[in-house]
Amino acid sequence: MYILGIESSCDETSAAVVLMDEGRREILSNIVASQIETHRLYGGVVPEIASRAHIEAISGITYEALERANLKIEDIDCIAVTSHPGLIGALLVGVNFAKSLSLAYGIPLVAVNHVKAHVAAAYLEYPSLCAPFVSLVVSGGHTSFYRVDAPTDFVEIGGTRDDAAGEAFDKIGRVIGMPYPAGAAMDKLAYEGNSSAIKLPSPAILGDNADFSFSGLKTAALNYINSERQKGSEPNAADITASYTKVIVDAIVKKTDYIIKQSKPKRLVLAGGVAANSHIRRALEELCAKRAVEFCRPSLALCSDNAAMVAAAGYFEYLDGNFADTSLNASANDDGN
Ligand code: KG4
Ligand code: ZN
């Protein structure tokens, strides 16, 4: 069946068409219009500007996704839209657009959780992947472990108690002068620094748990930078980045190892924008090899926000009969309420 995915939860407007059937998972188009250049001027996403940019882009992007897939709207069997979590005004643009299309053309509509969609990207990359598995979602807004018992059945088994890893990268990146979002640039710069140059606290919470706290790490890095500047010297950005990245990667490995020992999964799915980080990818690759766990991580284009992952997640909502109607609303919260 052909699924049209629509994503507008943050600063990317995206539409995609995927072909999903038993044994077939194919991306026919996946168009992403990024607003990053606009938000960069302000050092972060400005919700009002994001909503307006989504309104301007969404119909053109959807038309382009259908055209690239060589299909007409009448050929689509299901429309899948991200309804939560995210920026409420941004989400509303996608939800209202999807509802209008569904109503106008009589196409079934399903609502998709953005976090589940990140995980669903792995189904597109690994056509034989099936639940159960454990997933680690690391993004700008989330850092959580899930036990995925079925494609729509997620149980959170650990995660951050405050900020997300992506937010932590972006924040310190900004302080050392990188444009928003800093994650990808910090990934590169970390190779040029000494990862033991600066002593920073681990974001892994002590004890038998799979939890993180990034706020103390952020504050410690910020204090170090400020105290160096007060002494009149500009701290070495590469050393800060390498040291900062190392404590984050080590914490992720430590907690993933804990989860592997506790849950004994056959496979681990890494997902979310920060899953593009080469240091995290390599470290988890090594850990999974050591523990004989299959490691699945989507390609970089499927890690960041895109609508193909939304369409893939929507397929499983469709199979479960979780249809939405015109009463569908957007929600900023993880549980959709
Ligand atoms: O999943 P995503 O596109 O949006 C959310 O749902 O939050 O994630 C965006 C986050 C940003 O914080 C960005 O800096 C981070 O992913 N990111 C990275 C890398 N590429 C993107 N963080 C670390 N290393 C990267 N290579
Ligand atoms: Zn995302």
Q: Which ligand is nearest to the CA of 244?
A: 1
Q: Which ligand is nearest to the CA of 183?
A: 1
CA 273 – ligand 1 centroid, Å: 4
Give the pair of three-digit tokens for residue 308: 């193909």
Per-residue pLDDT in tens (0 to 9) along the chain, 337 residues: 999 999 999 999 999 999 999 989 999 999 999 999 999 999 999 999 999 999 999 999 999 999 999 999 999 999 999 999 999 999 999 999 999 999 999 999 999 999 999 999 999 999 999 999 999 999 999 999 999 999 999 999 999 999 999 999 999 999 999 999 999 999 999 999 999 999 999 999 999 999 999 999 999 999 999 999 999 999 999 999 999 999 999 999 999 999 999 999 999 999 999 999 999 999 999 999 999 999 999 999 999 999 999 999 999 999 999 999 999 999 999 999 9
229, amino acid identity: R
57, amino acid identity: A
Angle between helices 114-125 and 307-319 (to 10 degrees): 90
Write the residue with the smallest CA distance to atom 5 of ligand 1: 140
The one-character DSSP state at 204 is: B
Give the pair of three-digit tokens for residue 124: 């597109």
Tabulate helix, strand, coil % of the chain (nearest 5).
Answer: 45, 20, 30
**Pairing status of strand 24-34 against strand 143-150:** unpaired
CA 315 – ligand 1 centroid, Å: 25
Task: Give the SS3 label for residue 268.
Answer: strand
pTM of the model: 0.97
9, amino acid identity: S
Ligand 1, pocket-test mutation among 169, 171, 245, 248, most atoms within 8 A of CB: 169
* Distance from chain centroid for Cα 48: 21
CB-based contacts of 292, cutoff 8 Å, min separation 6: none
